[in-house]
């Protein structure tokens, strides 16, 4: 059901102007388990190439008209943007289309979408793609750890940026009294919602099937497969079953493998255009990017980011939290997601309608773009209009954005 509101800001949100930044197509790959899922033997550039080709092919757009691409990527191979550029060229996008990668940790995909949207707003381009990709199979772990000077580490908050993410989750739980029982209940519901959505085929429209190869661990032979479904979703998960798992980070902690986001591989892409250009080219318009906001928070409790980013973006737009139909809040950890929802006083029923990262997975650079594809899909399926995406960001930040579905 669409939220009914008579506020002038809400009515303005639904208006259609020629200079709006609109979404023409938003697609994602399946999210697969790091090191053992469907993309365990697939490089991130190949997954990215498939979603880039997917978004322009789906709407029959001549790729020559794509002027710029921004790709969120937290763990780029070799530390550069070359792999993303190679992926775009492999996707059939000409060398005249520019590209950059961007890293704002877990919000990188949304940062990429925002960059392209702002270029359109500023009149620099008419059409572009904001995307995100991550292979945590190939990039995650000790290889990604930074080396920092001793002088910088003398600053306490600088040093706090190196706190393992799991410990920041424990800090949030301890500081704000988020019990293990509440976290496990939230995580179980994420699995239950995702399993139900998967069974009902609700993810199909947002996922582009990708043909790739996988090495069978039993035979060690390479076989061709089609990856077209999230393979981290588990059916039958309950708060009671999660309650049996041991804490992962401290002996007396409450964060464990079942109430934290999964280490995953995947990519997503959002094709954006100026409304007047999309109309002129006869492109479908599935939604509108309104605006986004970023905030900083203490690094030791980085997970609280959405609790402060969401009010900021709602203030920019001029609407209230109750005028938002639903929220996609990234589940880095149940502790921080629960805190954010409680702090904002949002009904849990409005959050992550088809489950979140605990059940689906969280390929770091991909998630911010993945949430847009998921949000637009949910809006169409449930006949809702206004939604917010948000996530916490490692090192202590939060980001949020407002979108309007035009299904």
- Annotated catalytic residues are 106, 362, 392
CB count, 10 Å around CB of 72?
A: 34
Alpha-carbon distance of 136 to 262, in angstroms, equals 10
Residue partners of 36: CB distance under 8 A and separation at least 6:
none
Cβ atoms of residues 191 and 273 within 8 Å: no
Q: Are strands 98-102 and 397-405 parallel, antiparallel or unpaired?
A: unpaired
Q: Up-side HSE of residue 285: CA atoms within 13 Å toward CB?
A: 23
Relative orientation angle of helices 367-382 and 108-121, to the nearest 10 degrees: 80
Residue with tokens 């250009």: 277
CB count, 10 Å around CB of 157?
A: 11
Residue partners of 79: CB distance under 8 A and separation at least 6:
none
| 300: its two tokens | 């030791």
Residue partners of 154: CB distance under 8 A and separation at least 6:
none
Cβ atoms of residues 286 and 23 within 8 Å: yes
| 190: its two tokens | 């994420």
């Amino acid at each position: 059901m669409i939220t009914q509101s008579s506020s002038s800001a809400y009515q303005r949100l639904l208006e259609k102007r020629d200079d709006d930044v609109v979404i023409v197509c938003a697609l994602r790959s399946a999210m697969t388990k790091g090191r053992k899922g469907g993309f365990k033997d697939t490089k991130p550039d190949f997954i990215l190439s498939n979603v880039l080709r997917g978004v322009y092919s789906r709407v029959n757009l001549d790729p020559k008209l794509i002027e710029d691409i921004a790709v969120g990527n937290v763990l780029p191979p070799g530390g550069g943007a070359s792999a993303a550029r190679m992926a775009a060229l492999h996707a059939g996008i000409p060398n005249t289309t520019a590209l950059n990668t961007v890293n704002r940790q877990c919000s990188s995909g949304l940062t990429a979408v925002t960059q392209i949207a702002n270029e359109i707003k500023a009149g620099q381009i008419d059409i572009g793609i904001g995307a995100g990709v991550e292979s945590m199979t190939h990039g995650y772990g000790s290889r990604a750890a930074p080396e920092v000077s001793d002088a910088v580490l003398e600053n306490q908050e600088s040093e706090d940026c190196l706190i393992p993410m799991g410990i920041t989750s424990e800090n949030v739980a301890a500081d704000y009294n988020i019990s293990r029982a509440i976290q496990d209940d939230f995580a179980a519901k994420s699995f239950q919602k995702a399993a139900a959505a998967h069974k009902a085929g609700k993810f199909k429209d947002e996922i582009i099937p990708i043909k790739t190869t996988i090495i069978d661990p039993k035979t060690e032979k390479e076989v061709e497969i089609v990856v077209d479904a999230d393979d981290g979703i588990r059916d039958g998960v309950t708060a009671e079953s999660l309650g049996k798992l041991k804490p992962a980070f401290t002996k007396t902690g409450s964060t464990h493998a079942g109430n934290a986001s999964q280490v995953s591989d995947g990519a997503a892409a959002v094709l954006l255009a100026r409304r007047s250009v999309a109309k002129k080219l006869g492109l479908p318009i599935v939604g509108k990017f309104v605006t986004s906001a970023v905030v900083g928070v203490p690094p030791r409790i980085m997970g609280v980011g959405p609790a402060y980013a969401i009010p900021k973006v709602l203030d920019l737009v001029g609407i209230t939290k109750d005028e938002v139909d639903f929220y996609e809040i990234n589940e880095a950890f149940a502790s921080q997601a629960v805190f954010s929802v409680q702090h904002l006083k949002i009904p849990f029923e409005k959050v992550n309608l088809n489950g979140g990262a605990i059940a689906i997975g969280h390929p770091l650079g991909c998630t911010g773009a993945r949430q847009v594809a998921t949000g637009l899909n949910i809006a169409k399926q449930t006949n809702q209009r206004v939604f917010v995406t948000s996530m916490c960001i490692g090192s202590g930040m939060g980001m949020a954005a407002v979108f309007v579905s035009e299904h």
